[in-house]
């Protein structure tokens, strides 16, 4: 274990649990899921300076170069129904937005769980749930935030799609201080979510900063594709779409791709 990369960072999470820092891990989420199965408490956080096999949604690799970005996972054990637990990724997206707002205003949330600066992805969130008897046994929230990476730190195929706080704002950020603020906002919003659901203000925050708002999307969900204009999310975290036929529909899971609209 190493504390070298994040010495300015917190030692305990806002849930009062020790934060584990590693110089290198295959994946903070994979590591934390193992700890969770062995009984680690809610609020445990694992951070790595780099990941050798970081992953995102649909098994995609999460590019994790050393020392310049935040890669961390948070263990939650919420008392929730199975079908509500996926909304925690929206809670995390809202927490990131709030935490970064002062330093980097104008960031937007792309349903279901990415943070965008302009048309480039700044952060990705992956909520993984392990089933228990009456609800999830635990949820591991994995967050990758590009902080001080320069353009050359991204592989060529990502350079047009990804960005970092440094590229957006022109300055460096202290990783530990940033982690503190993000975890604080996450703990606050988790509390709010457990009391009021997304309706307590989180859905409104997301809709006010919604990357897809009014845009034509193709929603891919399993074998199905739905085309429509994205309107926002509802209080259950579903994407609201207006289809070309004028119908309104809400979709709870999938990937939203922006459609190129030719004029
Ligand atoms: C996505 O956009 O598909 C989600 C990316 C999630 C990446 C983070 S980095 C920290 C944690 N560990 C992982 O292996 N993945 C998540």
What the block records as the tokens of 215 is 């845009």
Write the pLDDT tens digit of every residue in 70-104: 999 999 999 999 999 999 999 999 999 999 999 99
- What's the gap in Å between 261 CA and the centre of ligand 1? 30
Residue 263 in this model has a pLDDT that exceeds 90: no
Minimum CA distance residue for ligand 1 atom 5 = 56
- As a whole number of angstroms, the distance between CA 145 and CA 2 comes to 20
Strands (E), 39-194: 45-48, 70-76, 108-110, 114-117, 120-131, 136-145
Atom of ligand 1 nearest to the CA of 123: 2
CA 28 to ligand 1: nearest atom: 12
Tell me the pLDDT of the chain averaged across its residues.
93
pLDDT band at 3 (very low <50, low <70, confident <90, very high): very low
- Confidence band for 7, pLDDT divided at 50, 70 and 90: low
- What residue owns the CA closest to ligand 1's atom 7? 144
How many angstroms is it from 100 CA to the middle of ligand 1? 18
Global pTM exceeds 0.85: yes
Chain mean position to CA 82: 19
């Amino acid at each position: 274990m190493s504390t070298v990369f994040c010495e300015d960072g917190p030692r305990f999470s806002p849930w009062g649990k020790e934060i584990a820092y590693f110089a290198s891990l295959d994946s903070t989420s994979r590591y934390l899921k193992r700890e969770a199965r062995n009984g680690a408490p809610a609020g445990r956080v694992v951070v790595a300076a780099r990941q050798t096999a970081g992953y995102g949604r649909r098994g995609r690799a999460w590019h994790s170069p050393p020392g310049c970005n935040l890669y961390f996972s948070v263990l939650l054990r919420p008392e929730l129904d199975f079908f509500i637990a996926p909304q925690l990724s929206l809670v995390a997206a809202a927490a990131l937005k709030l935490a970064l707002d002062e330093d980097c205003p104008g960031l937007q949330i792309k349903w279901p769980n990415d943070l965008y600066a302009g048309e480039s992805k700044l952060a990705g969130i992956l909520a993984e749930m392990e089933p228990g008897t009456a609800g999830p046994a635990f949820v591991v929230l994995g967050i990758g935030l590009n902080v001080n990476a320069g353009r050359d730190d991204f592989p060529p195929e990502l350079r047009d799609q990804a960005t970092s706080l440094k590229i957006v704002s022109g300055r460096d950020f202290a990783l530990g201080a940033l982690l503190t603020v993000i975890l604080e906002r996450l703990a606050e919003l988790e509390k709010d979510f457990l009391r009021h659901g997304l309706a307590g203000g989180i859905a409104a925050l997301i809709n006010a900063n919604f990357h897809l708002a009014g845009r034509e999307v193709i929603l891919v969900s399993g074998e199905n594709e739905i085309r429509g204009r994205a309107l926002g999310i509802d209080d259950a975290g579903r994407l609201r779409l207006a289809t070309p036929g004028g119908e309104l529909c809400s979709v709870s899971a999938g990937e939203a791709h922006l459609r190129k609209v030719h004029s």
